Amino acid sequence: MTQGVIEGGWEYVWAAYAVTWTALVGYTLYLWRQRRLADDELRATGEDERS
């Protein structure tokens, strides 16, 4: 049970925010890469169709 005010603890706050930002930016980059790969795959099958 906590009584009164917890002193400081900013390192936990920074850690939580760092995790949040890392996850969001990381997933953004992951999606960007997956988008590239998928578009390349589509282009590859498309070209083979037309040849």
Partner 1 sequence: MRRVLDFGLPAMAFGLLIIGGVVGLAIAPPERDMGDVYRIIYVHVPAALGALIAYTTTLVASLVYLFKSSWAADAIAESSAEVGVVLNGMLLITGSIWGRPTWGVWWTWDPRLTTAAIMFFAFVGYLALRRFVDAPEKRATWASVVAIIVYVDIPIVWFSVRWWNSLHQLQSSPNTIPDPMMKLALRLNAFALLFFFLWFTRQRYRIARTRQRVELMEPPALAPAMGGTP
- Determine, following the binding rule CB under 8 A, whether residue 29 of this chain makes contact with partner 1: no
- Determine, following the binding rule CB under 8 A, whether residue 51 of this chain makes contact with partner 1: yes
Name the CA dihedral angle for 37, 41, 44, 49, rounded to a multiple of 10 degrees: -160
Rounded to the nearest 5 degrees, what angle is found at the Cα of 36, between the Cα atoms of 31 and 39?
120
- Determine, following the binding rule CB under 8 A, whether residue 7 of this chain makes contact with partner 1: yes
Interacting residues with partner 1 (CB under 8 A):
1-2, 4-10, 12-13, 15-17, 19-20, 23-24, 27-28, 31, 34-35, 38-39, 41-42, 45-46, 48-51
